[in-house]
Amino acid sequence: MPERVDFWGIPHTWGPPELYAYGIMGLASLVLLFRLYQAVSLWWRLGRAEKRWDQLHIRIWRLIQYAIVQVRVLSQRYPGIMHVALAWAFFVFLWGTILATIHSHFIGFLYGHTYLVYKLALDVFTAIFIGGAILAAYRRYVLRPRRLTLAPRFTYSLVLIVVIVLGGLSVESTRLAVERPEWAWWMPAGWLVAQLWLATGASDATLLDWHFGLWFFHLLSVALLFVTLPQSTMLHVITGPLNVFFSKLDRPMGRLAPQPQTASGEPLFVTSLRDLTWKQLLDSEACTECGRCQDACPAFAAGTPLSPKELMLNIRTALRRDGPQLLQRGNGANGVPALVGEVVQDAVLWSCTTCGACVRECPVLIEHIDTMVDMRRQLVNEGRMDSMLQEALANLGRYGNSFGQSERVRGRWAQGFDPPIKDARKESVEYLWFVGDYASYSATLSDITRKTAEVFQKLGLDFGILYEGERNAGNDVRRVGEEGLYEMLVHRNTAVLSRCSFKAIVTTDPHSYNTLKNEYPPEVLDGRPVLHYTELLDQLLMTGALKFSHRLGYTVTYSDPCYLGRYNGVYDAPRRLILATGCQLVEMPRCGDRAACCGAGGGRIWMEEQAVQERPSEARIREAAALEGVQALVVTCPKDVTMYRDAVKTTGYEPRLAVKELMELVHAAL
């Protein structure tokens, strides 16, 4: 009967094989644990405290999803199949070792068909691993995508794990070549390799010598993996799952963590690694250097200094280089480069549009934006920003809008309506329309704003606005890093909102929508919903309250705003409205949660133009223009309208591609 035999064919010349096998692996395990302790204790002791131990059942489920099943890794076909082949194979090998240990030392069960199925599974995954390794080698040394880190240390890791797996296969195959059992085909990979040994004509004694040599080499290669893992690229097999387990659960993607405070209640600014949380430091150690974040980053594609991958690697390098000295001497350690300005350059931080594409793509759930905003707060605190941004923030502080216009002008667009648009501060309304700065003040958007009001009136909605009582909602102010100004804007808006009687807030600006929905004090909303206008119109469409009398017949494409789609998951409502107007919708290659950014977010619309290869908005226009037969790019964000109408001119596509706000289509189809 087939059964698993421990240390088959291993001579006792040097004593019982168990002694030196377990001795070598025990010593290697101690070195592994010690070096892991050194690495983990560095970010754990250096970083600020942060609670990430709650809701264990959700964290375990995330671990299964992202670290074991690897759903986000699989979202890209070639690298996904490649990585899953390697990772799942090693996961099966780990379980194979665990089951073998149970069989040897606790409960014997690897006999007969159970043993054969066990060996078949290991052999199948050996073949899967070899396939994954071939894909990895071809990608790294032939395709060489720009996003990969093509350093020799990755070659070392790939070669080592291939040597380990091929070593195990060779050990099995030499045993099969000697035994030649009738059930050998249950180990197809091993039996095929055994044919090579048999073809040499070597005697059984020679094959046994080879078996012992290969077994000992395999043992040493596994020990080498253990010893070097904490300092190699393989460390991510530990830090990656840890990062997934400790990913944020206490707040949605659209809610930034509040600015930390000192023990005395003063704002804490990030000046060194010690001012980051242990989880932010773990983010840097968990980075697999796959480059998915870099590929998705609109700032990197435009040619700015920002690469989300390099941001994490720079923090990791500083952590390993400066961390021990900071632990010993604190922030006053001499010769330690400043985190903000030296380790991470100012221009890198100001390049970010906070679009969230990097966070969406990261397979180990790194939270890049929280860390960048924390460092931006330090730049704002020291006044290290361009003059345009300084002026915009000054205007926001003085007037409540970035245009520097009087608050009395905010509602000027609403003049001439019959009946007049209600003042929600004075009358009870069902829908309080939070209009936003661009829709209120931009001369190029006033026509769209008026059409929005006309649509609301035609539908018989009971709505009103705040007129001069409204201030900028603060979404981008906060992401610029001006937390104090953000809190002031929130205070002024909530003071007005708390005196109004309404059943829901509706807004045409996804940036305002995000912060009102996710970041404003819950007692102000008191359970009342915050809706983007597309959600409201979609509800009316579903109930039959919204009916169109004209079919427009345009062929259009749609660009999901970052703060409506990726941040808040609103994808279907705008598309249903587009189709309901009688338009044909053609999707761009980058759509839905992978939609490209216009480049305005994170306060970039208030900053000076950078020297770039191509602006994100121009790249998006070219993507839309490349679609056959498309007549218009449809958007649902005032900043998108501003950015894309400028880009369609600078790219020369204005004669053949119109930029339309979805509300313009709704207005025309009514």
CATH of residue 347: 1.10.1060
User: Is 4 contained in some domain?
Assistant: no
The enclosing domain of 193 has a CATH number of 1.20.950
- Chain-centroid distance, C-alpha 103: 42
H/E stretch holding 530: strand 530-532
Same domain, 206 and 291: no
**Token pair in block for residue 517:** 């929905």
H/E stretch holding 25: helix 17-46
Any idea which residue has 């305002």 for tokens?
Answer: 512
Q: Give the alpha-carbon dihedral of 622, 254, 447, 540, to 10 degrees.
A: 110
Answer whether 566's CB lies under 8 Å from 595's CB: yes
Instruction: Give the pLDDT score at 332.
Output: 62
Any idea which residue has 């649902």 for tokens?
Answer: 636
Query: Quick one: 620 exposed, middle or buried, by C-beta within 10 A (0-12, 13-18, 19+)?
Result: buried
The last residue of one of the domains, among 180, 214, 244, is 244
State in Å, rounded, how far the first CA of the chain is from the last one: 80
Sort residue 505 into left (φ over 0), alpha (ψ -120 to 50) or beta: beta
Instruction: Give the pLDDT score at 250.
Output: 85
Same domain, 153 and 86: yes
pTM reported for the whole predicted model: 0.94
The side-by-side arrangement of strands in the sheet containing 504-507 is 422-423, 463-465, 431-434, 504-507, 530-532
- Chain-centroid distance, C-alpha 90: 25
Q: Check whether the bond before 419 is cis (ω within 30° of 0).
A: yes
User: Is 3 contained in some domain?
Assistant: no
Q: Which amino acid type is present at position 474?
A: G
Instruction: Give the pLDDT score at 373.
Output: 97
Backbone CA torsion sign across 647, 648, 649, 653? positive
User: Is 456 contained in some domain?
Assistant: yes
What is the distance between the alpha carbons of residues 210 and 453, in angstroms, rounded to a whole number? Answer: 84
User: Is 411 contained in some domain?
Assistant: yes
H/E stretch holding 557: strand 555-558
Round the average pLDDT of the chain to a whole number and report it: 96
Nearest CA to 288 among 320, 246, 357, 241?
241
Pairing of strands 504-507, 555-558: unpaired
**Per-residue DSSP letters for 428-472?**
--SEEEE--HHHHH-TTTHHHHHHHHHHHHHTT--EEE-GGG---
Compute CA distances 226 → 84, 132, 158, 609, 615, whole Å.
21, 22, 14, 49, 46
Radius of gyration for the chain, computed over Cα atoms and rounded to the nearest angstrom: 30
Same domain, 534 and 429: yes
Q: What angle do CA 375, 639, 625 make, to 5 degrees?
A: 115
Same domain, 99 and 207: yes
Q: Could you tell me the residue range of the domain that residue 128 belongs to?
A: 17-244
Same domain, 518 and 572: no
What is the distance between the alpha carbons of residues 211 and 382, in angstroms, rounded to a whole number? Answer: 67
Same domain, 34 and 149: yes
User: Is 386 contained in some domain?
Assistant: no
Q: Which amino acid type is present at position 575?
A: R
The residues, any chain, with a CB within 8 Å of residue 155's CB and separated by 6 or more, are: 140
Same domain, 204 and 258: no
Same domain, 407 and 518: yes
What is the distance between the alpha carbons of residues 218 and 224, in angstroms, rounded to a whole number? Answer: 10
What is the distance between the alpha carbons of residues 479 and 475, in angstroms, rounded to a whole number? Answer: 7
Q: Which amino acid type is present at position 395?
A: N
Count CB-CB contacts under 10 A for residue 271. Answer: 16
Same domain, 327 and 470: no
Give pLDDT < 50 ranges for the chain: none
Convert 526-548 to b/e letters by CB count within 10 Å (16 or more is b). Answer: eeeebbbbbbbbbebbeeeebeb
Nearest CA to 473 among 491, 453, 499?
491
Q: What is the DSSP letter of 49?
A: P
Answer whether 360's CB lies under 8 Å from 374's CB: no
Number of domains within the chain? 4
The enclosing domain of 554 has a CATH number of 3.40.50
H/E stretch holding 513: helix 510-518
The last residue of one of the domains, among 212, 244, 276, is 244
Pairing of strands 632-635, 504-507: unpaired
The residues, any chain, with a CB within 8 Å of residue 619's CB and separated by 6 or more, are: 298, 301, 302, 596
Convert 342-381 to b/e letters by CB count within 10 Å (16 or more is b). Answer: ebbebebbbbbbbbbbbbbbbbbbbbbbbbbbbbbbbbbb
Answer whether 615's CB lies under 8 Å from 642's CB: no
Pairing of strands 555-558, 431-434: unpaired
What is the distance between the alpha carbons of residues 663 and 352, in angstroms, rounded to a whole number? Answer: 29
Same domain, 123 and 217: yes
pLDDT in tens, 354-406: 999 999 999 999 999 999 999 999 999 999 999 999 999 999 999 999 999 99
User: Is 11 contained in some domain?
Assistant: no
481 three-class SS: coil
Same domain, 436 and 554: no
User: Is 1 contained in some domain?
Assistant: no
What is the distance between the alpha carbons of residues 479 and 606, in angstroms, rounded to a whole number? Answer: 12
The last residue of one of the domains, among 195, 215, 244, is 244
Answer whether 119's CB lies under 8 Å from 262's CB: no
Same domain, 120 and 217: yes
User: Is 10 contained in some domain?
Assistant: no
Nearest CA to 470 among 486, 492, 503, 452?
492
